């Protein structure tokens, strides 16, 4: 068991102050995780995550102590959480900028094959999606949204809708549950 498991349990089961400690433990900043471990260890008297979690689950006084410690350190906890959010934002922004540089270098390439591949793939995929819809309309078959989505992925990406895939996860999950 790891400290992130303790953090997940705290985030789901604790009240506001202790839940913030859980956020520290599930983060990816070593200083924030260390601060969370220190608070939990101070409340439970345990440095082992498994023993600390058992103590939190079985002894209500440890949760009270953790909440008291969290209240004393609330500003530091919020500062760590703010740092985690800022790092995530900077990482996402850097990723987006790298993607844009890659796309722009391909669009501005001197090699005709490199410069024309993305647009031609997008147009071919768009035409295939129209053909798929048309064929299913003529043969009175149901259109599979996932097949159509796969066919439209390249045109959407070329048009700048690169983040649409993040929402597709929930659609895939809904289809599995049918």
Q: How far is CA 46 from CA 17, 22, 43, 113, 174, in A?
A: 19, 16, 8, 62, 41
Q: Does pLDDT of 89 surpass 80?
A: yes
Supply the pLDDT for residue 173: 64
Residue 138: alpha-carbon gap to chain centroid: 41
Supply the pLDDT for residue 171: 62
Q: What is the pLDDT of residues 39-83, one digit of tens each?
A: 888 888 888 989 998 988 888 888 888 888 888 888 887 887 888
Give me the chain's average pLDDT, please.
Answer: 83
Q: What is the pLDDT of residues 121-153, one digit of tens each?
A: 999 999 999 999 999 988 888 999 999 999 998
């Amino acid at each position: 068991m790891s400290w992130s498991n303790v953090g997940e349990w705290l985030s789901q089961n604790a009240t506001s102050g202790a839940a913030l400690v859980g956020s520290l433990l599930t983060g990816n900043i070593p200083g924030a995780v260390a601060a969370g471990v220190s608070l939990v260890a101070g409340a439970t008297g345990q440095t082992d995550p498994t023993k600390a979690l058992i103590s939190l689950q079985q002894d209500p006084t440890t949760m009270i102590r953790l909440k008291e410690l969290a209240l004393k350190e609330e500003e530091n906890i919020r500062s760590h959480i703010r740092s985690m959010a800022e790092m995530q934002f900077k990482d996402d922004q850097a990723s987006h900028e790298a993607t844009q540089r890659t796309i722009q270098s391909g669009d501005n390439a001197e090699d005709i094959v490199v410069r024309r591949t993305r647009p031609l793939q997008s147009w071919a995929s768009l035409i295939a999606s129209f053909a798929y819809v048309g064929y299913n309309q003529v043969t009175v078959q149901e259109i599979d949204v996932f097949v159509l989505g796969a066919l439209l992925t390249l045109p959407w990406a070329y048009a700048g809708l690169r983040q649409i895939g993040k929402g597709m996860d929930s659609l895939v999950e809904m289809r599995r549950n049918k």
